[in-house]
Amino acid sequence: MQLEDGARKPLGESMYPTGERPRVQTLAIRFTGSGSEYFRIWIVNLLLTLVTLSLYWPFARARRIAYFQNNTVVGGDPLGFHADPWKMFRGYVVVMLMSIAYATLSEVAPQVSVWLLLLFALVWPALWRASLQFRLRNTSWRGVRMAFVGDLKGAYLALLPFFVPALVLGFLAPTLVEGDKPTADQQRQFALVLAVVALTTVALLPWLFARLKRYQHGNYQFAGERTELRASSGSFYGLGLRTGGVVLLVVFLVVGAGVAVAMNSANKGMSLVAIMASVALAYLLVPLVIVPYSTATLQNLLWANTRSRNTRFRSELRFGTLFRVNAINWLLIAITLGLYWPFARVRLARARLEAMSFQVKGDVDGWLARAEARGPSGILGDAAGDFFGIDLGL
């Protein structure tokens, strides 16, 4: 079995000088954490975050990430997490101060909110890139650190288009004087601008999301191997259409059943109850069905198409598996008034991670030894990520 199409991606002589075809090793991914262990971490994190008015949040996040990564075992060896929580705290303070400034100025001077949004848009891609650098730089496997090597220009090209609809709406919407009611012409203008922006956004969203994920999954680096995302924009449009179709199907079946019961009922009160019950059921079923469906299909699409010259991922997460896990988690969270949440996180992580595997060409030990001999790469980018300590969870 070949990892990639040998005609397009031949193995370099520097990697395998003998010219022999290397065998492909499939490394299983396992999650060894338990709900009871994580519950103790979660409850302490929650209490300290509340007591410190959220200032403990970056430290709690560092403990959570370390727990999940240390219990993610790839080919028999766990991932490591080496971040300094104080650097994460510094990044958290920066983002928090930006949010407070935006909220305050929006209340005091609403007319400058568009310019604040523009400033926020200009800064956010740099923070996002720093977050990815920081997270990957502090993740290791078998003692070798990972890296994110995407440049700043790519981050702006990937993220800035997401802010365009809001900026267009802000600039083209009619300006109102405080205390005045909008005229009929202004209402029509706003409705027209809103409709055009909304339709354009929906039409372009899969393409924009594909660009963002292509930048993110195309710049992971480990042991000299830089990944790329081979999923086309059409596959993201297909995912969006299928997800929308499932939403419409669920709503149509549930609400249609309620309307049919109401029409066949002679009691008007019962008819109203049947319609309201069907709407409530649809409201519950849509996230219960759509979340696992979109999560499973998106994970498979992204990771099955993320690969490098000598590595690739496999993802075979099934909707049925994730649906059962989510249904049980939601039920037990409701019964325990939220106390089952950490157990639910562990169950979900196990289901998602163990549906994946990692494939490597050649001997893994020799491959890592050669990578260590070549030395680290991307030092300046990694240092920038460590300096800012931003971790946005993306």
* Residue 255 shares a structural domain with residue 376: no
CB 362 within 8 A of CB 310: yes
The answer on 139 and 4 residing in a single domain is: yes
Q: Are 74 and 143 in a shared domain?
A: yes
Task: Please tell me the predicted confidence (pLDDT) of residue 367.
Answer: 73
212 is a domain residue: no
Strand order in the sheet with 24-31: 225-226, 220-222, 144-148, 139-141, 77-81, 72-74, 24-31, 356-361, 311-315, 306-307, 228-229
Query: What are the structure tokens assigned to 375, written together?
Result: 């030395």
Note the pLDDT of residue 113. Answer: 67
Query: Are 38 and 126 within one domain?
Result: yes
Name the β-bridge partners of 145.
140
Candidates 136, 174, 197; CA nearest to 392 is: 136
Tokens coding 175? 């300006």
Asked if residue 287 belongs to a domain, the reply is: yes
Same domain, yes or no, for 92 and 35? yes
More confident site: 107 or 76: 76
How many other β-carbons are positioned within 10 Å of the β-carbon of residue 124?
Answer: 19
Number of domains in the chain: 3
Q: 287-318, pLDDT tens digit by residue? A: 889 999 999 999 999 999 999 988 999 999 99
Least confident of 46-50, 87-91, 97-101, 260-264: 260-264
**Rounded Cα–Cα distance for residues 384 and 388 (Å):** 6
pLDDT of residue 1: 39
**Is 52 in the same domain as 132?**
yes
Range 139-159 average pLDDT? 93
Return the higher-pLDDT residue of 254 and 273.
254
Average confidence (pLDDT) over 240-248: 91
Q: Which residue has the tokens 């660009």?
A: 211
Return the DSSP state at 174: P
Regarding whether 138 and 66 lie in a shared domain, the answer is: yes
- pLDDT at residue 253 in the model: 83
Assigned domain for 161 exists: no
Q: Is residue 205 part of a domain?
A: no
**pLDDT at residue 13, rounded to an integer:** 38
**What per-residue confidence (pLDDT) applies to 329?**
96
What does the alpha-carbon distance between residue 129 and residue 366 come to, in Å, rounded to a whole number? 31
- Would you say residue 15 lies in a domain? no
Closest by Cα among 120, 219, 207 to 170 = 120
pLDDT at 215: 96
The answer to whether the CB of 384 falls within 8 A of the CB of 89 is no
The full 3-state SS of 132-169, as one line of letters, equals: HHHHHHCEEECCEEEEECCCHHHHHHHHHHHHHHHHHH
pLDDT in the model for residue 372: 66
- Checking if the pLDDT of 377 tops 60, the result is no
Q: Do 254 and 105 belong to one domain? A: no
Instruction: Retrieve residue 184's tokens.
Output: 């009929």
Q: Which of 369, 372, 231, 223 is nearest to 310 (CA)?
A: 223
* Per-residue pLDDT tens digits for 2-44: 444 433 343 333 444 555 677 888 999 999 999 999 999 999 9
- Domain range for 343: 317-354
Residue 386 has pLDDT above 90, yes or no: no
Same domain, 224 and 277: no
What pLDDT sits at residue 11?
Answer: 35
Token digits for 9? 């991606």
Buried b vs exposed e over 47-66: b needs ≥16 C-beta within 10 Å? Answer: eebeeeeeebbbbbbbbbbb
**pLDDT, tens digit, for every residue of 64-75?**
999 999 999 999
Establish if 188 belongs to a structural domain: no
Residue 273 sits in the same domain as residue 370: no
Percent over 70 (pLDDT), the chain: 83
> Is pLDDT of 60 > 70?
yes
Q: How far apart are CA 246 and CA 294, in angstroms?
A: 10
pLDDT, tens digit (0-9, with 9 covering 90-100), for 314-355:
999 999 999 999 999 999 999 999 999 999 999 999 999 999
Q: Are residues 256 and 322 in the same domain?
A: no
Say yes or no to pLDDT of 260 above 50: yes
DSSP 3-state assignment of 361? Answer: strand
Q: How far apart are CA 157 and CA 220, in angstroms?
A: 17
- Quote the pLDDT of residue 18: 52
How remote is the C-alpha of 326 from its chain's centroid?
18
Residues in the chain: 394
| Domain co-membership, 144 together with 33 | yes
CA distance readout (Å), 121 to 12, 156, 187, 214:
42, 9, 27, 20
Any idea which of 35-39, 171-175, 195-199 has the lowest mean pLDDT? 171-175
- What pLDDT, on a 0 to 100 scale, did the predictor assign at position 120? 79
Asked whether residue 207 is assigned to any structural domain, the reply reads: no
Helix/strand/coil (H, E, C) string of 37-82? HHHHHHHHHHHHHHHCCCCCHHHHHHHHHHHHHHCEEECCEEEEEC
Task: Establish if 38 belongs to a structural domain.
Answer: yes
